[in-house]
Structure 1
Amino acid sequence: MTEQTSVYAVLLQLEREARHAESEDAFRFVVVNQTRRLVAFRQAVLVRLEGPGLFVVDAVSNVPVIDREAPLVRWIARVLAALRPDLPPETPLEPGQPAGRRLDPAALPEALRADWAEWWLPEALWQPLTAPDGRLLGGLVLLREEPFKPAERVLADRLADAYAHAWEALRRRLGRRFADARTHRRRRWIMAAAAAVAVVVLAWPVRQSALAPAEVVPRDPWMVAAPLEGVVEEVLVQPNQPVALGDVLFRFEEAPLRARRDVAAKQLAVAEADLRLAQQGAFRDVTRKGEVALKEAAVALRQAELAYAEEMLARAVVTAPAAGVAVFADRDHWTGRPVAVGERVMVVADPARTELRAWLPVSDAIGLEPGTDVRLFLAVDPLAPVAAVLRRASYDAEMRPDGVLAYRIEAEFDGDTAAAAPRLGLQGTAKLYGERAPLAFTLFRRPIATVRQVLGL
């Protein structure tokens, strides 16, 4: 193969590699690294024209990644901006004359010319890359110590024409990708704006709130407890039955109490008889006067026992301490059941005086102060919340029958709804309002608390 044939083969091979490049990175690699197979150089720089006198370095031979803030890259951009190779030459080109021209460092300002020997080689060939429609896409700068021969400039011009055509075709082929990139950037801007809005929303202060199971209970009820230890014989009222002051509520088995009273009465009679004998004996025998005091003490003791037995018998019938409604679960639950002294059997409550009682689980606890708002959503009418005002929140948590550790919450129905307060026994859900806090804290308070408990952070 002759030398001329070899040159043509390399030229065609480079044109093919440039036209079949799948990406701009592959195209840049061919331009700045493979071109030396046809035209010898020490260094090649591919620049892109962004505007009049504005050049951007796209690739440098033997440099895999371009740092646009590197001193050399910035110096190259300043040199090309000063030389303006994008402008037409002062002397029009003759037909067939190569478009490439030598960059003369003498035309540079002193500040840039002084660095030429440090950054670049003496000979610099500017080879423009012009699209088929005449637009200047950029240029290829070839650097070496010796001047470029006319034949080399012709080959460089022919190769630059193929490079420019391939570059423009590649841009068009990648136009859709660029559009996708712009769409992606626009999407990123939208996502960033959405994130900013989300941050503002999450930082917005809102009132903390918590939900707790609640019920309507009597306010200041009269507690009816067992006045003695015994067995309840009969409950004389029905659950939720209205009662008046003094009405009999329930009674105890009286047989043991009557027997105790009768025994106490007989023991008193015996003690009194002993006292009379002692008094009569004291008249006949002065030494027996000491027995009189003992017998009198025994009589006083028996009198006290009889009085206590009669009082217990009187307590066997329990009456209502005030007018109201007898509140308890079931009559059969108490009938025949032994109770201890002080054990609560029922309460007598005023149906017009009710309050809200809720149980706030420890895991949902928030800061609550007396006087804050409470809303009760009754199960029978969840669409009509009832307003209330917090009266008390316990400091100590209690174990509820369902096994949940919770704080006792008591609230009063406000003045507007007191006249139409819910009836006793209704249940629902209470919404408790606390202090204001960022929305993010309100939403993630429980997850944060769980993580702290599990991980100890």
Structure 2
Amino acid sequence: MNAPVRIEAGDLALLWQLAARAREADSEQTLGFTIVNETLSLIPYRQAAWWRAPLPAPGAVAAVSGLPQSDPGAPYVQWLGEMFRALVKRAAQETSGTGGGAGPGASPDDAQTPGSAAAPAANGDSPTAPSTHPFAFTSAHLSAAVAADWSAWWPMHALWVPLVDRSGRSFGGVVFVRDNAWTHTEEVMLAELAQVWAHALSAFAPRATWTARAKLLLRPGKVRRRALAALALVCVVPVPLSVLAPAEVTAKDPFVVRAPLDGVIDRLYTQPNQRVSPGTPLFALDSTTLASRYAVANKNFDTAQEEYRQTAQLAVIEDKDRLDMALRKGKLDESQVELDYTARELARVRVTAARAGVAVFADPNDWNGKAVSVGEKVMLLADPANVELTVYLPVADDIDVKPGATLTLYPKSSPLSAYDARIDTVAYRAEPTPDGVLAYRVKAAFTDGGARPVLGVMGTARIHGRWVPLAYYVLRRPLTTARQWLGW
């Protein structure tokens, strides 16, 4: 265990002041300037530079001491970039060979991408957690090409301070250089400041996109192999193919009440959903025209009957009247037929229920005064206990439904209820629904032994199809659209 570090009261005050300055920074540029310049009040150094590597771009020199803003074209800044890249490359090599640890390169590889771990191990199995401890290095730890210009820009001793927040996300690191070697106390104080700087930088760092997170997850190694294997396994997991469609509870084998003749509905004697018994009046047509025709037919019959009687009396004494009697008889029979027909039509003006049931129709005001033709449907007489489910399956959602398949009704009026049914018939031809959607009409009977919804309930039906892989279930609609658009 390391011995406790003793820090002077003055240094603690400066440490607190620098931490407060970092937290008060209103931008990343202000924070970078504070890091590389104002730290001089706590730790003596000649130069400092901050190496930042925002996701997913490569690293870059973000701030240099003594300059308000780093110029990427300046020779010193270019050499700093080469030095940092060489340091990162050596760190990756040493991490691959040793699995991480102290020494040069133990953590600068974290500067490649914020939020990433250290470079992957040699076998590519798992990443190494980033190190947060500062470490000293010299030109001997870099390549000869980069170390050749070390003396031209820097003194002998350098210290790398990684910036890693508590979640393990890296924001690069800061390098401090000076003539004297670094002490353990200075490294401890800079490590404490590095945590404050990383926490402050996390407020300005952009959030990683889903694409960047996916690339991080699919890096070469065991993690990628496991992720791809899990994805392939999920794609072939069998799931039941199902589709949602609007549905309505309708009457099964209802009795259709039609208009017996052409006319205008004068009055409705029933109300919607009213129970009726056989012989109960349902509605009546306007009888004004038929009553007039009946009166005329009755008058014609009386006239023809009187003419026939007079002709029959004259035929006793006049031979020519015997010939007219046959003609008068024919006119009498014709007027009789007209009178009987008009009487039957007049009797059919009042329509009664042929059997017991519930009257199913819309608002009575929609029918009062409406002209109807013979055979036109006015209402239904349905048995409330004998219901079925009518589903309107849109053409775009057709999943090759067959009779015998099961479905579940979820009523809108009762969200906690569900009713199971079995498909009886499927229309072979799609027809427009009242909403203007081209759909197949599907009839289903509710399963025996269970509760049934009341007549007129509307909701959504889930039609259960065959078992298919999850990938087909997810990509069925996009593939259908793509084939229709591309024509293959």
User: What TM bracket, shorter-length normalisation?
Assistant: 0.5 to 0.7
What is the CA–CA distance in structure 2 between the aligned matches of 1:264 and 1:453, rounded to whole Å?
A: 67
Is residue 269 of structure 2 the alignment partner of residue 224 of structure 1?
A: no
Is residue 482 of structure 2 the alignment partner of residue 451 of structure 1?
A: yes
In structure 1, the gaps of 5 or more residues are: 1-18, 28-167
Determine which of 388, 391, 408 is the counterpart of 1:358.
391
Partner of 1:63: none
Change in 2 beyond 3 A, CA 1:172/1:331 = closer
Per-residue displacement from partner, 1:335-364 (whole Å, max 9, x unpaired)? 122111111111111111111111111111
What is the CA–CA distance in structure 1 between the aligned matches of 2:256 and 2:462, rounded to whole Å?
A: 29
Matches for 1:250-329 after TM superposition, within 5 Å: 250-280=283-313, 282-284=315-317, 286=319, 289=322, 291-329=324-362
CA deviation after TM superposition for structure 1 residue 410, in Å:
0.9
What is the CA–CA distance in structure 2 between the aligned matches of 1:21 and 1:194, rounded to whole Å?
A: 32
Give the letter aligned to residue 335 of structure 1. Answer: N
Change in 2 beyond 3 A, CA 1:216/1:174 = closer
2:446–2:452 contact (8 Å) kept in structure 1: yes
What is the CA–CA distance in structure 2 between the aligned matches of 1:316 and 1:396, rounded to whole Å?
A: 38
Give the letter aligned to residue 382 of structure 1. Answer: P
What is the CA–CA distance in structure 2 between the aligned matches of 1:218 and 1:289, rounded to whole Å?
A: 64
Determine which of 441, 449, 472 is the counterpart of 1:416.
449
Q: Give the TM-score normalised by structure 2.
A: 0.55
Give the letter aligned to residue 446 of structure 1. Answer: R
2:123–2:221 contact (8 Å) kept in structure 1: no
CA deviation after TM superposition for structure 1 residue 439, in Å:
2.4
Q: Give the TM-score normalised by structure 1.
A: 0.59
Per-residue displacement from partner, 1:355-394 (whole Å, max 9, x unpaired)? 1111111111111111211100001212221111111111
What is the CA–CA distance in structure 1 between the aligned matches of 2:244 and 2:107, rounded to whole Å?
A: 61
Matches for 1:203-218 after TM superposition, within 5 Å: 203-218=236-251
1:368–1:435 contact (8 Å) kept in structure 2: no
Per-residue displacement from partner, 1:5-61 (whole Å, max 9, x unpaired)? xxxxxxxxxxxxxx989669x99xxxxxxxxxxxxxxxxxxxxxxxxxxxxxxxxxx
Computed over aligned residues only, the root mean square deviation of the Cα atoms, in angstroms, reads 3.4
CA deviation after TM superposition for structure 1 residue 421, in Å:
1.4
1:367–1:435 contact (8 Å) kept in structure 2: no
Change in 2 beyond 3 A, CA 1:192/1:289 = farther
Change in 2 beyond 3 A, CA 1:448/1:301 = farther
CA deviation after TM superposition for structure 1 residue 236, in Å:
1.0
CA deviation after TM superposition for structure 1 residue 432, in Å:
0.8
In structure 2, the gaps of 5 or more residues are: 1-81, 91-102, 111-117, 128-217
CA deviation after TM superposition for structure 1 residue 190, in Å:
2.7
- Secondary structure of 2:399's counterpart equals coil
Partner of 1:140: none
What is the CA–CA distance in structure 2 between the aligned matches of 1:178 and 1:432, rounded to whole Å?
A: 49
Determine which of 406, 430, 435 is the counterpart of 1:397.
430
Partner of 2:472: 441
- Secondary structure of 1:437's counterpart equals strand
Give the letter aligned to residue 425 of structure 1. Answer: G
2:261–2:375 contact (8 Å) kept in structure 1: yes
- Secondary structure of 2:449's counterpart equals helix
Give the letter aligned to residue 481 of structure 2. Answer: T
Per-residue displacement from partner, 1:414-441 (whole Å, max 9, x unpaired)? 1022xx3111111110111122333222
Change in 2 beyond 3 A, CA 1:276/1:415 = same
CA deviation after TM superposition for structure 1 residue 249, in Å:
1.0
CA deviation after TM superposition for structure 1 residue 285, in Å:
5.1
State the aligned residue count: 300
Per-residue displacement from partner, 1:275-333 (whole Å, max 9, x unpaired)? 34454555555456554444333333322221221111111111111111111111111
CA deviation after TM superposition for structure 1 residue 181, in Å:
8.9
2:423–2:444 contact (8 Å) kept in structure 1: yes
CA deviation after TM superposition for structure 1 residue 402, in Å:
1.3
1:203–1:439 contact (8 Å) kept in structure 2: yes
Give the letter aligned to residue 475 of structure 2. Answer: F
CA deviation after TM superposition for structure 1 residue 263, in Å:
1.1
What is the CA–CA distance in structure 2 between the aligned matches of 1:325 and 1:436, rounded to whole Å?
A: 41
Matches for 1:22-421 after TM superposition, within 5 Å: 176-179=118-121, 182=124, 183=126, 188-280=221-313, 282-284=315-317, 286=319, 289=322, 291-417=324-450, 420-421=451-452
- Secondary structure of 1:208's counterpart equals strand
Partner of 2:459: 428
